[in-house]
Structure 1
């Protein structure tokens, strides 16, 4: 009993200390102000960055990211030919949490409602990594209202085995209530830089990327907590969703690096290309999990191919 009480006191003390530091850090997120505008919906606001004119192109970021991942390069590159709409998923970046949706389908519903207020009709939808699952959920919900899909290293099918120890811990009660608040409050910049290097490997992290993405913006405890729950629950959701993929007939272009150690090429992109006649896969040799940064023009070409195929139908 004494041991349990001591452990409880230690956990409570650590949690209070971490929360205090995290709150101080959260106040500094004004260094990463919104780049776009807010779209008000029932339950909260969605932050959207809109640039360019032309056919609508919606961009959906991956796990623990935000729209700034795309405004670093891809938005400006594609705004020459499209009206590009980069969205912060609910609870990420500057979008409100909307209760913290864990399902890609729930997230897609919110994002669809947001772009509807912008007058978007039959957009091209691009999803990167976890955002690929949200893009597929969008297409399943509104197959006649999606012109085409471009998927970058997408997590869209169930994979063998389980996630690593970090996600098992971070999605647990201990992780949600103690570990992640500590990470949010105390993680040094060097640790975040090393994490990014692992995501980008074997390609280098572009100079200035972390500052553009927003160091403090990505280390909020609420975002880390939501991200952990979403990633931990994703396998079950894509397993349920994948049975509906063969009914989709819009053009799908997939870009995936063969050196990606975050989302397995064979389990996701190659499986989709082998299963769906309307899916075309481009494999980039020597490219890791961030093809839109390592090979941005190849990604731009894939988006243009999606549009060309969509308008040819």
Structure 2
């Protein structure tokens, strides 16, 4: 009996220590990387956004595990001279509240961001989406065709793929992983592990100097963000599969940029088919570029946005 009580005490102590360290890690991360912008509330959900510049409205939507800081590192400053740039944190990521605990769907995310953009006076903005953010941008175009003027996609996940979910997301999207594994990762995984993951996503390119310090690895490791991101990623294939038949309905100008060395979202699986599914879509293939074109070859993504704006009659 004493041994059982001892083991039980050790378990309780370990759980308490893990939860304390997780909360501490989150608090320190939010102190180090506080919100960059302002907040608005849509149906009780707090939405974090950054707004800079003047000109035609342009909404930027970040990818999985990301936040506004991916774009405020350099892209917003490049574009703010000729666009009124709005960057949103997607639900559960950065400082935007989760919509639900089952993984906000692409349409739910698009619905929320459309309403947030309208609240900010952007009734028919240009929309740019990177990676998972490109999936949300496509949902925006499919479900709210009257609420955008043009669409620019960079390394966007857009078509079904044959590889599995992978152990990481399989575990973290499971109820046990959500309850037990994620708090342990938040508590015990150092931020440098996220930095290493970022480097692998950039390959064969390199993250620009200062990017790791700016992006906020600790924000990604917060429990709320890990839970939301894992569920969104686990649901993505089914949602993409359901979305594909609607691409032919997209009638706004569409520009697509994608690196042919991207191993995260492969060109041949996603953007090549997408360019054939949307009438008038223009695909620019970036030779030797990986998954982060807006950092590796910023002139290419900026030019694609400008082409979209010109085709939409906004430049």
Q: Name the TM-score, length of structure 2 as normaliser.
A: 0.93
Equivalent residues of 2:91, 2:104 under 8 A apart: no
**Residue number in structure 1 paired with 2:202:** 200
CA distance in 2, matches of 1:61, 1:110: 15
1:88-127 pair list within 5 angstroms: 88-100=89-101, 101-127=103-129
1:276-291 pair list within 5 angstroms: 276-291=278-293
1:126-165 pair list within 5 angstroms: 126-165=128-167
Q: Which structure 1 segments of 5+ residues have no match?
A: none
Deviation (angstroms), 1:12: 6.4
Deviation (angstroms), 1:15: 4.3
- Pick the aligned partner of 2:212 from 210, 213, 217: 210
CA distance in 2, matches of 1:273, 1:15: 50
* 1:54 aligned counterpart, secondary structure: coil
Deviations 1:245-265 (A, max 9, x none): 101111111111111111111
**Residue number in structure 2 paired with 1:75:** 76
Equivalent residues of 2:110, 2:140 under 8 A apart: yes
* 1:112 aligned counterpart, secondary structure: helix
CA distance in 2, matches of 1:94, 1:275: 34
Q: Which structure 2 segments of 5+ residues have no match?
A: none
Deviating more after overlay: 69-78 vs 113-122: 113-122
Deviations 1:103-130 (A, max 9, x none): 0100111111111111112110011100
CA distance in 1, matches of 2:23, 2:91: 20
**Residue number in structure 2 paired with 1:19:** 19
Deviation (angstroms), 1:310: 1.0
Count of paired positions: 309
Deviations 1:44-75 (A, max 9, x none): 21111000001000000000100110000111
RMSD across aligned positions (CA): 2.0
- Pick the aligned partner of 2:304 from 299, 302, 305: 302
Equivalent residues of 1:152, 1:255 under 8 A apart: yes
Deviation (angstroms), 1:141: 1.5
Deviation (angstroms), 1:33: 1.4
Deviation (angstroms), 1:161: 2.8
Deviation (angstroms), 1:277: 2.3
